[in-house]
Amino acid sequence: MSEAINGLKPEILWEKFAEVTGIPRPSKHEEKIAAHVVATAQRLSLEVFRDAGGNVVVRKPASPGREQVAPICLQSHLDMVAEKNAEKVHDFLNDPIQLLRNGPYLTANGTTLGADNGIGVATSLAIMASNDLEHGPLEFLFTLDEETGLTGAQNLDGSKIQSRILLNLDSEDEGVIFVGCAGGRDSLGRWEARRDAAGSGGVALLLSVKGLRGGHSGLDIDKGLGNAIKIANRAVRMLAGIGGRLARIDGGNMRNAIPRECEAVVVIPADAVAQAKEMVSRLEKAVRNELTPVDAGVTVTCAEADAPSDLAVLEPELQEKLCRAISAMPHGVLQMSRDIAGLVETSTNTAVIKTEASSITLITSQRSSIGSRLDEAVESVVSIFELGGAQVETSHGYPGWKPDLDSPILQQAKACYQSLFGKEPKVEAIHAGLECGIIGERVPGMDMISFGPTLEAVHSPDERIEIESVGKFWEFLKEILRTAK
């Protein structure tokens, strides 16, 4: 067991969290953790099965005297975002997460921590294993692939779920109960990579944008964080003014993460190298000034790069269309909510750019709590792609979750929090795609809330969990189960 959790309370929950983080589980590769959940349930003699979508469902009987209580489903997702610092050597398919204690926080060594949603999975495993809790009949729903398409929830067989009360354990602010979320769609533009030979007399420069914090493309989209793809594109366009020709540009890894790093290879006339380096240096100063204090660690650098003799560059017209499209592409908040103060209503994230042998692909994601606004945001992005000559693909996306402030489970949860901590919890909606919207469609009549401990910088190697908040979250959950009717 990791030394990082020594002495942390509640012991059973932290032990389960260390257990979960020791099992590789990047999105779309959840078989090891799913098998672990199944084996754990079988060892505890609990009913367990997997539905047609691969989701794991476990059932635990009520504690003595609580058999008539309405069943409650605890829901979490098995996968995690696999992000690491560029210099970090880590194989997410095979290596465990290395836990580190940092004052009041638990974090990881150069990678995402996976507390999103490993802490939810660990909580369910801890409840499954505990014999000293009061509760009615319980179901535990462990879904697949939340982070890269919500496909586990999309493929959920709702007829297999008996509960009509659901506690989603995938929120990230202790003391806040979430009762609504945004819907989302992805929009992708792809250009055929028409190329020319770079020829002789040019020097290949490697442009690098690093040091940005990154973050969740919903929860952090209003924080003014830097976007590495947008910054790198500014550098490419500047260098194009002195004859720079783009060979490749690659940045970002996840559609739901603000890109932290981006690299581009640009071929510059040999007599313009010094000027190019000076231009990039000036851009770095400008960007750092723009982003301080939220992203003051940003670096924008260029250095001469080893280039193969057959290095090819994009045709000038294609380079111009691509760079203009990236420049025109919106990123960030498009509209704040008129109903809930401080809530982002509509946003878009310029997420990933990939250069391959035959194509260049730019992936973006849009979110909104209003369906028509979401469609409008997608149309705006699609129009930019089309004007730039790209082939376009859009996803059907996932639905939002409409708040119900009269929800019985919400009223019970608020009373529990007040009795435990002497104050009312906040009740909010979230600008992110919780699985509740989809589950609510798959299981009509489901009464739902979402809550969790405090997580920061999720989807980035700076992800961390506030240790004290985990204890409060655990006590809150136990009280909800104890007082359920």
Residues noted as catalytic: 79, 146
Q: Which of 260, 461, 257, 265 is nearest to 364 (CA)?
A: 257
CB 320 within 8 A of CB 237: no
Q: What is the largest CA-CA distance in the chain?
A: 84
Q: How many CB atoms lie within 10 A of CB 465?
A: 25
Give the span between the Cα atoms of 143 and 78, in whole angstroms. 6
Q: Please give the C-alpha separations between residue 237 and each of 231, 244, 250, in angstroms, as whole numbers.
A: 10, 8, 15
Give the span between the Cα atoms of 385 and 388, in whole angstroms. 5
Give the span between the Cα atoms of 302 and 424, in whole angstroms. 52
Task: Kindly give the pairing relationship between strand 391-394 and strand 183-192.
Answer: antiparallel
Q: Which of 192, 350, 323 is nearest to 266 (CA)?
A: 323
Task: Kindly give the pairing relationship between strand 165-168 and strand 72-77.
Answer: parallel
Q: Which of 160, 170, 165, 147 is nearest to 57 (CA)?
A: 160
Q: Read off the tokens for 201.
A: 């007399």
CB 96 within 8 A of CB 23: yes
Give the span between the Cα atoms of 389 and 419, in whole angstroms. 60
3-state secondary structure of 274: helix
461 prior amide bond cis, ω within 30: no
Q: Please give the C-alpha separations between residue 146 and each of 220, 249, 473, in angstroms, as whole numbers.
A: 18, 28, 22
Q: Which of 300, 284, 358, 353 is nearest to 325 (CA)?
A: 353
Question: Residue with structure tokens 């919207």?
Answer: 437
Q: Which of 484, 470, 477 is nearest to 417 (CA)?
A: 477
Give the span between the Cα atoms of 353 and 360, in whole angstroms. 7
Give the span between the Cα atoms of 207 and 299, in whole angstroms. 10
